Chains A and B, each alone.
Chain A
């Protein structure tokens, strides 16, 4: 059973999914961060594959991506770093990035290697539903990878239903119409969250974008099965002298 489905079958509330950028702050940080997140209470981890032109990202993740690229991070190196990660790491693991680097790597080869190193799901925000159904779906399916779709406050009910039908892992509900790391008022989004909750979707829902502390995490968990934190954690890692300690403090501040 795919680890994502296994997780949701065992725990369907207060799921904490943490995003970080591969190769940030240092090229060799990737697995250090990964294991620290497991140790200090994350339920799921999403590793960002850095890209030069991350359209859906705000300044924080743009910056971490740029540093990671300067550090020399590539998809090839990421797979090498993750080759033995499953010896110690048991949580569901997702890769998030943009279509172009994956296309150049080769979608078939990418999916195969992702599966081999123990990845469970893929998020590519600029791979839209139409292209997914037409060309890409089969490669994810053949390699037991869940493809995760995003929905936003502007997504119509009909389209949410369609995305629910296509989804197999969970649905990524973007908290507000924005790029990552925004500071838009959270309370205004509660109407949208409860609208989604009332739709009784077949897939679990994780809420992300703008989740930055215990308060926003708790609101997200009230409506969804959990939440995704990215920019706030990258901010914490930025300039950290001790990744393990920073990670412990950060996760404790959310989960306390």
Chain B
């Protein structure tokens, strides 16, 4: 393929093929109205992100603006409790408080090179909206963020941040008024503004090439983990990598450079909400079947008639009825281990991390932290948990449990 140094870890059979598929999942199921925009992206994204000038600016902004590399921290008291060597990948220390900025920096640079003037995005927890508003301010581009009305309430601090950054936040009142519907509205906006608008998707979802593109921008996470582990332990490969999965972007980034290393167990943790069988859950692999959502074929939570159902999670960032096609493939093939944690379990794990390590995680990665209890480790195991974001935005929710 290419000689790009970011691609030194071969994805083997886990990468996307030329038609945008991961196994049976993926593709670009889009109406003709979006064809020219999506086709332009498909034709140009790889060549643009391989340009020296792009790579230079991307690396520069990741380092001096976003604050990378993020630390890999050996959490000693957590390690003692769970009987393994547990490392936290501190994406919570990124500028704006989550891994989402890695992707928005990449996509804004791409949008600039495609000469787009108007940026749109969807957001659930507001982290992606904030990360998009941030890079738009940095580059002086107009920014419109679609956010479910319900999410605007439960993630109010992020709404305020987006406004301060100059973005226009449009409340979405259709459907379940959460992330799924915000994504629908963003796609409709794109249909209505085909010439000047670029859509910055916030996860590894959407039509090809978005899942692959977002995974590449997030792959910096596992690239750093490999390097940092080598420095700290002499070994590049952990035994386990844990990450939460909403759409799956932080998990894709944390797994990326380990996908073809079969000794590394990749653990994806979904939101079980009030319990998988409760009717209030967002555990897509447990509850979903193959379907089309937001332009790609993947696992989707739906009725037998193919109507998408409303998911539930305490965490707005995991409250999504699908997962990216790459993860559907990891699940179906058995390459990924898919676990889940409920609302209250996530809160419990967040409280535990705060008291053992002095770190307040976001609700989303708190799900991944809880899943540490579900596997048996050997004392010598190296376990990396991707701490995808910080908990500031969730304090209101946490206060209800303290």
Residues A145-159 near B (CB distance < 8 A): 149-152, 154-156, 159
Q: How many residues of A contact B (CB 8 A)?
A: 40
**A255 on the B face (CB < 8 A):** no
Interface size on B, as a range, is 35 or more
Closest to A155 in B: B32
CA A113 to CA B295, docked complex, whole Å: 26
Residues B171-190 near A (CB distance < 8 A): 174-175, 180, 184, 187-188
Chain A residue numbers with a CB within 8 Å of B32 are 125, 128, 149-152, 155, 174
Residues B283-328 near A (CB distance < 8 A): 289-295, 300, 302, 304-308
Q: Is B305 touching A128 in the complex (CB atoms < 8 A)? A: no
Chain B residue numbers with a CB within 8 Å of A149 are 32
Task: Tell me, rounded to whole Å, the shortest Cβ–Cβ distance linking A178 to chain B.
Answer: 5
Q: Which of A1-9, A23-31, A100-108 contacts B (4 or more CB under 8 A)?
A: A100-108
Q: Is B33 touching A177 in the complex (CB atoms < 8 A)? A: yes
Q: Which of B22-30, B101-109, B244-252, B369-377 contacts A (4 or more CB under 8 A)?
A: B22-30
Q: Is A53 touching B308 in the complex (CB atoms < 8 A)? A: yes
Chain B residue numbers with a CB within 8 Å of A156 are 36
Chain A residue numbers with a CB within 8 Å of B358 are none
Q: Is B308 touching A56 in the complex (CB atoms < 8 A)? A: no
Closest to B37 in A: A154
**A243 on the B face (CB < 8 A):** no
- The listed residue (B191, B192, B295, B307) touching A101 by CB distance below 8 A is B307
Q: Is B292 touching A126 in the complex (CB atoms < 8 A)? A: yes
Closest to B20 in A: A130
Closest to A73 in B: B305
**A236 on the B face (CB < 8 A):** no
Chain B residue numbers with a CB within 8 Å of A103 are 290-292, 306
**B194 on the A face (CB < 8 A):** yes
- The listed residue (B28, B31, B300) touching A55 by CB distance below 8 A is B31
- The listed residue (A51, A76, A127, A130) touching B307 by CB distance below 8 A is A51
**B65 on the A face (CB < 8 A):** no
Task: Provide a sorted-by-A list of 12 A–B residue pairs whose CB atoms are within 8 angstroms.
Answer: A55-B31, A55-B295, A56-B188, A69-B307, A101-B305, A126-B31, A128-B29, A131-B27, A149-B32, A150-B33, A177-B194, A178-B33
Those 6 A-B pairs whose CB atoms lie nearest each other, nearest first: A104-B306, A101-B306, A125-B31, A150-B32, A52-B307, A177-B194
5 additional contacts, CB 8 Å, given A52-B175, A177-B191, A177-B194? A53-B175, A66-B175, A75-B305, A159-B35, A174-B33
A interface residue numbers (CB < 8 A to B) = 51-53, 55-56, 58-59, 62, 66, 69, 74-76, 98-105, 125-128, 130-131, 149-152, 154-156, 159, 174, 177-179, 182
B interface residue numbers (CB < 8 A to A) = 19, 27-33, 35-36, 174-175, 180, 184, 187-188, 191-195, 289-295, 300, 302, 304-308
